[in-house]
Structure 1
Amino acid sequence: MEDMNSKIIEKLEYNRIIRQLSDLAITAPAKAQALKLMPSSDFDEVKKSIDQTRVLSNILRVKGPMPITDFKDVRPSLKRLKVKANLNGEELGNIFLVLSLAKDVGQFASDLEEREIDTRPIEKYLKNLAVPEDLFKKLNQAIEYDGTVKDTASSKLMQLRHDIQSNETDIKNHMNDYISGKHTQYLSENIVTIRDGRYVLPVKQEYKNKFGGVVHDQSASGQTLFVEPQAVLVLNNRQQNLLAQERQEIHRILIELSELAGAYQKEINNNALALTQLDFLSAKSKLAKKMKATEPVLNQDHIIKLRKARHPLIDPKKVVPNNIELGTTFDTMLITGPNTGGKTITLKTLGLLQLMAQAGLFITAEEGSQLTVFNEIYADIGDEQSIEQSLSTFSSHMDQIIKIMNNVTEDDLVLIDELGAGTDPEEGASLAIAILDDLRQTQAKIAITTHYPELKLYGYNRKRTTNASMEFDLKKLAPTYRLRIGIPGQSNAFAIAHQLGMNEAVVDKARDLMNDEDSDINKMIERLTEQTKAAEQLHETLKQNVDQSITLKRQLQNGLDWYNQQVQKQLEKSQEKADEMLAKKRKQAEKIINDLEEQRRAGGQVRTNKVIEAKGALNKLERENQNLANNKVLQREKKRHDVSVGDNVKVLSYGQQGVITKKLGEHEFEVQIGILKVKVTDRDVEKIAAQASQKKPEKSVRSSRGLRSSRASSELDLRGQRYEEALTNLDRYLDASLLAGLNTVTIIHGIGTGAIRNGVQQYLKRNRHVKSYNYAPANQGGTGATIVNLQ
């Protein structure tokens, strides 16, 4: 696009956009990159660029601007390092600044994923923010951002600077004695100054021998000599020597730092490039925020569908937004009507927003607006205020049109302002129609303006072509600058004349002079305008209602989500409390059993009342456990969550009943409500209990199984019981056996599938009160029973 873009950049004012972009960049390299930004015709490249702008816009919205400050281009310094040249302090300070910024930005970006910002489009830049720690540490120790070498660069430099400061203090003390004591009468001024790097006094010419030492300079009149007194000569010499040693040490440090930096040229360059690119992309996001721009939705079908598009360079308080379409039901749009109505601004808005999008910038249009990627954008746009145009202008206009006709393809966008203007109106209108017919055959997307009335009906008898016009307010006698697609421009001369007070008879005579065909066309256009305006108002009202409904639904959903979160938190809190309670009661139960067991082991007689008290305490714990298990709130919440495919449920957010047809995730389901299928969470559904259609089965009586009586038996029969029930009864039975002082018991579990048998064996293995266990002898049940020895 470079060749054609270079010609339309100025007319579409794209260069003003990138100048604003450059101003918003912080670093010099990013500013330069912004000024070179050109639109691309590669769809993938444009999409990638838009994606990157979106990421930085999200970062700007969530976290604010990236912590980037200005730095100089490091490439000249890297070129010097490549040839083993040494860098000066400013260059090394700039490299230190780049590495520091890379660290800061890396830290800034470390929690972006936690904030649900997709950083994949800029991942390569973030990965390049890898700072060599040894180089950074050394630079941080040795140099400031402005290139000043720090005292901490080396112990020798620190000592030298301490000596320099101490010696300088001695010099100043001596010199202050001269300017504040008896010697003041010999001085032109009571000041200390410096000449050739040495401290001197301004001595009157006739008293130069009073101080001895060396004369370094004299005033223009020769009446004042700048004398270095003999008393400070040695101190000044020492100061110069110390300063020379300091320069040597600094030079050595810079050589050392340059050699270390030379080993990390690639890393330095990668960090600088990453920062430049992030700054450049940040500028795009700042421009979007400044312009209140939105992300364009790209398509590959060459469709343009802009909603409330506004020219980005016109004051937002004054600009009139317009809906602009191409490529939907029509490929060519012909905007007719008088000059100064906004036709040219509409063309420029379309062209400029298209250029911005293809440069990876957001556009000044309503969210969801669609744009495409054209191979070329051709434009011939003049000054809409110029009603009379010269022959030379017409020749230039035709020259551009011919170039467009010779090069345009179906992948291009063509924008032409005032087609055929600048010549005889009748010839110009005929030429415009012929040019349009030729351009349409290329299937390019075309938007053209004209004030020729002969083209009013062009869009009605050509395929995929439509007329459009700029609205005119007859009451205010001024254009509204609103684009009306589907309606050609109409002449308002009679209405304006009447509004301004012209004699009605004159206006009526003028109407009579018009041929019937022109009159009918104007009446038809007037009716279309009224109908379109009414339809647009209705559409806007319906859109507002839909938007309000969407907002209300979102608010209701947010409220429901909040409620579900609170229920979940309360449920988890209750569960934690229940777990704590059960753990506490379990410890109490174990203590009761352990106390009784200790008494039994000690050979003491466990009194009957103690056993009764222990059993009472255990029964109390069991009742508390049962009460918790039967807690209606917890059970109801658990039942509400316990849904599966095929269940009849009530969807709370809709207040409707339906059937679960599919499980979409751990907590998400698809529910069929009539002919609708909706996606819901398990918090939004409540299981509907099926009506009992069969008699409830009678409860089975197992008086011969489990614990037969309060007096412990030496045998427990678990056959026919469910796994969980069998293990629960086993646990209770062993507790009772221990309380009764039994040493050996028999557990009858049968053979069957082996599930209960294995469960019994595993339980016994873990129980610390079980001394040993083995299968029963063959004549007592074999592997169908287990004999347990308790301790």
Structure 2
Amino acid sequence: MNKRILETLEFNQVKQQIAQYLVTAQGQEELRDLLPVTDPQVITAWLEETADGMKIQRLRGGIPVPKIENIRPHMKRIEIGADLNGVELAQVSRVLSTTNEVKRFLDDLHDSEIEFQRLYDWEEQLTTLPELSRRLKEAIDEDGRVTDDASPELRTIRGNIRRSEQTIRETLDNIVRGNNARYLSDAIVTMRNERYVIPVKQEYRGIFGGVVHDQSSSGQTLFIEPRQIVELNNRLRQHQIAERNEISRILSELSAELVPYRKDILHNAYVIGKFDFMNGKARFAKELKAIVPAISAENHVIFKQARHPLINQEKVVANDILIGEDYQAVVITGPNTGGKTITLKTLGLLQLMGQSGLPIPVDEESQMGIFKEIFADIGDEQSIEQSLSTFSSHMTNIVAILDKVDSESLVLFDELGAGTDPQEGAALAIAILDEIGAKSAYVMATTHYPELKVYGYNRPKTVNASMEFDVDTLSPTYRLLIGVPGRSNAFEISKRLGLSSHVIDAAKQIMDGESQDLNDMIADLENRRKMAETEYLEVRQYVNEAQRVHKELQDAYSYFFEEREKELAKARQKANQIVEEAKEESDKVIADIRKMQLTGGQGRVKEHELIDAKTRLSDLHQEENHLQKNKVLKKAKQAKKLKAGDEVLVTSYGQRGELIKQTSNGQWEVQLGILKMKVDEEDIQSVAPVKEPVQRIVNTVRSADSSHVSNQLDLRGKRYEEALNEVDQYLDAAILAGYPQVTIVHGKGTGALRQGIIDYLKNHRSVKSYEFAPANQGGNGATIVKFK
């Protein structure tokens, strides 16, 4: 596609509107490189991605993509052996974490059986690297700072730094608040040259000894490092140097870990950019109320209620723009400032947007073509430097267009033939349109020449059009009228403005008779068009009423069908109940007969006869509900019913239990007696709770000495998952042993294990309460658990 058309139709301004909705550098790059293409397969794929983005925007508010910087330079640097800094590693970490989040989000959509055309294909190209992602998130925070968890050595060094700083501050606080405070300019502790100092009055510089690091601008204050803290500052400096060295080592180590996965990480960033671009196009479509058009294999362009995307959507006038099916040439006439040029630009720009995979602001059931080239001669391109007049500049452009145009081209002419003698200009315009028509190209042209109004009637595959003008308000309506040529409104306007009738009549007599006849014909066409519009609106009302009645009948039929199915289901259920009762009775009889046979009866009843009888009884059973096999309905029904605390039947084990909580991947944690198990939702059926018979409760006290279970569990040094597993088993054993309370020792540490155990105890059905141990028994390093 020629670049000239992109500038003429302001395609880049549309891209700028989309850019405001993008959050990733890769998405911005996708938009920058976006150009209209002519390959139908590529256009179809792009439009399908746009449709997927609009669907996911409507259902879930879009794909969760955060702001992501360009990591391509980072990957290039580690490829040549360089190390990344903390900020760069944080940006890479964000790509990996976003990959995991997007993958989970799309997997959830897939589990919900929501269909997309291209979205899942892109999802399959994402590569999750959980270990690498975990390592980066553990070592680098979002701002690029290396955390204490990056290495044990770094944690130790930073602990030493904090202790050194505390010692120095305490020492200096004693100085500035003691008897020596009168020697200071201000009772504060500050820093110079990365060392702690105090501000001392110049005349007392010898009181504290030590090193002078700086002085005030007036020279009255010296910033002195007292001799008491020189050694402490030296030690702090050593720790800070050790910290820098350890951070450099960690950054180098993390950079090396990225090297084997650099291509996967880059491709993940590319796919995330695609998702961001899909989000941006969807938000752009929502703002403009745009749609994804169909593609016409015959290049029939039908833009219903088309709107120019760069005009305020609340003010723009929508028009039906049609070309290709019934006519290949459209000649638009009418007054200036009536909207002819905007109509040309709207057709060309929407076609460019469609061939770029963008949504276009038209109504449903619109369709676009695919053109190898779109040419336009729009606007005044007069050049002073090249000494070209308006006519010459237009004709130079038209000559270039005629050399390149073919049957797969769309040509837009604004004021064709203008800028020269009207008679010659009209003749040239007709000849140019004939030349383009001979090459079977599509053309839309605007003109003032009355000769072209007749041209629209005489040429096949050509139609006249005009921009409507309201004589009553003396203003254009900006509505495109296909099939009606524009006419001069000079006489009507002059009459409304007060020009004498005899002057107007004289003008009409002077005017050429054929021109007057043409204007009369146009006026008659306009009247017929208005009558047709009135009849259309009346017919449209009847059609809408018929559609409403049809929908009501469809709803009534659906209701009747559902009610019939419900009644049939009730009948089958009742029949099955009767059959079950009969079957139970027959089972008893058959059991008695078999018992008699086995204990020495004469054996008149054969074993196979018993089996046949039982089979015939079972065949009486009817299917109650054929929808039970529908996995989607079954899943939705169970999701609606099941909740924590419900009694359920685990079908795979044939055991009753109680739901504790729902876990990921469609599973529930179920309490089966003293066991806790994770069970798939498909294997769970909700059942009514069993009424326990009233019985006398006898309290039995089990001696703790008789149990081999300790009343204390020590988890120090254990991994998180291992520790929680031991807590789960230990509490079950302690409850069976009859302990009223136990102690869990988890240590202080980072607090992660302690918090995990507290979260677990919150949801345990047998735990009455829990609290940290007294200070002399471990404090918040141990938790005392009391049972119900």
Query: Mean Cα displacement is larger for which, 560-569 or 321-330?
Result: 560-569
Q: CA deviation at 1:231?
A: 2.0
Separation (CA, whole Å) in 1 of partners of 2:167 and 2:577? 77
Q: CA deviation at 1:458?
A: 0.5
Conserved? CA contact 1:408–1:442, under 8 Å: yes
Separation (CA, whole Å) in 2 of partners of 1:596 and 1:221? 120
Conserved? CA contact 1:420–1:432, under 8 Å: yes
SS at match of 1:149: coil
SS at match of 2:499: coil
Task: Classify 1:278/1:569 alpha carbon distance in 2 versus 1 (closer, same or farther; 3 Å).
Answer: farther
SS at match of 2:313: coil
Separation (CA, whole Å) in 2 of partners of 1:143 and 1:567? 64
Q: CA deviation at 1:443?
A: 0.8
Conserved? CA contact 1:43–1:373, under 8 Å: yes
Aligned partner of 1:82 in structure 2 is 79
| Matched residues, number | 610
Conserved? CA contact 2:416–2:446, under 8 Å: yes
Conserved? CA contact 2:576–2:621, under 8 Å: no
Separation (CA, whole Å) in 2 of partners of 1:110 and 1:555? 39
Q: Which of 396, 405, 417 is residue 393 of structure 2 equivalent to? A: 396
Task: Classify 1:563/1:24 alpha carbon distance in 2 versus 1 (closer, same or farther; 3 Å).
Answer: farther
Task: Classify 1:93/1:544 alpha carbon distance in 2 versus 1 (closer, same or farther; 3 Å).
Answer: farther
Q: CA deviation at 1:249?
A: 1.5
Conserved? CA contact 1:74–1:269, under 8 Å: yes
Task: Classify 1:169/1:587 alpha carbon distance in 2 versus 1 (closer, same or farther; 3 Å).
Answer: farther
Aligned partner of 2:449 in structure 1 is 452
Give CA-to-partner distance per residue, 1:453-479, whole Å, 9 cap, x none: 121100111111111111111211211
Task: Classify 1:432/1:603 alpha carbon distance in 2 versus 1 (closer, same or farther; 3 Å).
Answer: closer
Q: Which of 223, 234, 237 is residue 237 of structure 1 equivalent to? A: 234
Separation (CA, whole Å) in 1 of partners of 2:143 and 2:505? 82
**Within-5 A mapping of 1:564-603:** 564=561, 568=565, 575=572, 579=576, 582-583=579-580, 586-587=583-584, 589-591=586-588, 594=591
Aligned partner of 2:292 in structure 1 is 295
Aligned partner of 1:536 in structure 2 is 533
Task: Classify 1:119/1:24 alpha carbon distance in 2 versus 1 (closer, same or farther; 3 Å).
Answer: same
Aligned partner of 1:201 in structure 2 is 198
Separation (CA, whole Å) in 2 of partners of 1:478 and 1:419? 24
Q: Confirm or deny that 1:216 pairs with 2:208.
A: no
Q: CA deviation at 1:420?
A: 0.9
- Matched letter for residue 56 of structure 2: I
- Matched letter for residue 159 of structure 1: T
Conserved? CA contact 1:112–1:119, under 8 Å: no
Conserved? CA contact 1:132–1:267, under 8 Å: no
Conserved? CA contact 1:58–1:117, under 8 Å: no
Separation (CA, whole Å) in 2 of partners of 1:57 and 1:441? 41
Give the TM-score normalised by the residue count of structure 1.
0.72
- Matched letter for residue 346 of structure 2: T
Separation (CA, whole Å) in 1 of partners of 2:243 and 2:98? 30
Give CA-to-partner distance per residue, 1:387-428, whole Å, 9 cap, x none: xxx971221111111111111111000001001111122221
Q: CA deviation at 1:359?
A: 0.8
Task: Classify 1:547/1:372 alpha carbon distance in 2 versus 1 (closer, same or farther; 3 Å).
Answer: farther
User: For structure 2, which runs of at least 5 residues remain unmatched after alignment?
Assistant: 382-386, 602-613, 631-788
Aligned partner of 1:420 in structure 2 is 417
Aligned partner of 1:279 in structure 2 is 276
Q: CA deviation at 1:187?
A: 0.8
Q: CA deviation at 1:260?
A: 1.0
- Matched letter for residue 98 of structure 1: V
Task: Classify 1:630/1:537 alpha carbon distance in 2 versus 1 (closer, same or farther; 3 Å).
Answer: farther
Q: Confirm or deny that 1:251 pairs with 2:248.
A: yes
Conserved? CA contact 1:311–1:364, under 8 Å: yes
Task: Classify 1:563/1:272 alpha carbon distance in 2 versus 1 (closer, same or farther; 3 Å).
Answer: farther
Task: Classify 1:23/1:569 alpha carbon distance in 2 versus 1 (closer, same or farther; 3 Å).
Answer: farther
Q: Confirm or deny that 1:321 pairs with 2:318.
A: yes
Give CA-to-partner distance per residue, 1:220-262, whole Å, 9 cap, x none: 2221111112222222222111111112221111111111110
Q: CA deviation at 1:438?
A: 1.6
Q: Which of 109, 127, 132 is residue 130 of structure 1 equivalent to? A: 127
Task: Classify 1:486/1:236 alpha carbon distance in 2 versus 1 (closer, same or farther; 3 Å).
Answer: same
Q: Which of 177, 180, 190 is residue 180 of structure 1 equivalent to? A: 177
Separation (CA, whole Å) in 1 of partners of 2:593 and 2:275? 74
Aligned partner of 1:149 in structure 2 is 146
Q: Confirm or deny that 1:434 pairs with 2:431.
A: yes
Aligned partner of 2:6 in structure 1 is 9
Separation (CA, whole Å) in 1 of partners of 2:157 and 2:4? 63
Separation (CA, whole Å) in 2 of partners of 1:414 and 1:479? 25
- Matched letter for residue 216 of structure 1: H
Q: Which of 304, 307, 312 is residue 310 of structure 1 equivalent to? A: 307
Q: CA deviation at 1:347?
A: 0.5
SS at match of 1:200: strand
Give CA-to-partner distance per residue, 1:172-222, whole Å, 9 cap, x none: 222222222222211111111111111110111111222222211111222
Query: Mean Cα displacement is larger for which, 573-582 or 65-74?
Result: 573-582
Conserved? CA contact 1:326–1:445, under 8 Å: yes
Task: Classify 1:158/1:535 alpha carbon distance in 2 versus 1 (closer, same or farther; 3 Å).
Answer: same
Task: Classify 1:42/1:537 alpha carbon distance in 2 versus 1 (closer, same or farther; 3 Å).
Answer: farther
Conserved? CA contact 1:310–1:364, under 8 Å: yes
TM-align CA RMSD: 3.1
SS at match of 2:368: strand
Separation (CA, whole Å) in 2 of partners of 1:26 and 1:546? 46
Conserved? CA contact 1:413–1:446, under 8 Å: yes
Give CA-to-partner distance per residue, 1:347-398, whole Å, 9 cap, x none: 11111111110111111111111110100100011169xxxxx971221111
Task: Classify 1:116/1:377 alpha carbon distance in 2 versus 1 (closer, same or farther; 3 Å).
Answer: farther
Larger gyration radius, structure 1 or structure 2:
1
Q: CA deviation at 1:516?
A: 2.6
Task: Classify 1:630/1:171 alpha carbon distance in 2 versus 1 (closer, same or farther; 3 Å).
Answer: closer
- Matched letter for residue 435 of structure 2: D
Q: CA deviation at 1:300?
A: 2.2
Separation (CA, whole Å) in 2 of partners of 1:521 and 1:211? 109
**Within-5 A mapping of 1:491-510:** 491-510=488-507
Separation (CA, whole Å) in 1 of partners of 2:143 and 2:570? 58
**Within-5 A mapping of 1:158-169:** 158-169=155-166
Separation (CA, whole Å) in 2 of partners of 1:417 and 1:223? 80
User: For structure 1, which runs of at least 5 residues remain unmatched after alignment?
Assistant: 385-389, 605-621, 642-665, 667-791
Give the TM-score normalised by the residue count of structure 2.
0.72
Conserved? CA contact 2:579–2:621, under 8 Å: no
Conserved? CA contact 2:579–2:620, under 8 Å: no
SS at match of 1:355: helix
Aligned partner of 1:517 in structure 2 is 514
Task: Classify 1:220/1:566 alpha carbon distance in 2 versus 1 (closer, same or farther; 3 Å).
Answer: farther
Q: Which of 19, 28, 47 is residue 44 of structure 2 equivalent to? A: 47
Q: CA deviation at 1:589?
A: 4.9
- Matched letter for residue 161 of structure 2: I
Task: Classify 1:587/1:141 alpha carbon distance in 2 versus 1 (closer, same or farther; 3 Å).
Answer: farther
Give CA-to-partner distance per residue, 1:681-707, whole Å, 9 cap, x none: xxxxxxxxxxxxxxxxxxxxxxxxxxx
Separation (CA, whole Å) in 2 of partners of 1:581 and 1:353? 69
Task: Classify 1:399/1:115 alpha carbon distance in 2 versus 1 (closer, same or farther; 3 Å).
Answer: farther
- Matched letter for residue 225 of structure 1: L
Aligned partner of 2:766 in structure 1 is none
Q: CA deviation at 1:69?
A: 1.0
Identity over aligned pairs, percent: 43
Conserved? CA contact 2:23–2:276, under 8 Å: yes
Separation (CA, whole Å) in 2 of partners of 1:553 and 1:113? 35
- Matched letter for residue 197 of structure 1: E
SS at match of 2:196: strand
Q: Which of 64, 69, 72 is residue 66 of structure 2 equivalent to? A: 69
Separation (CA, whole Å) in 2 of partners of 1:191 and 1:412? 80
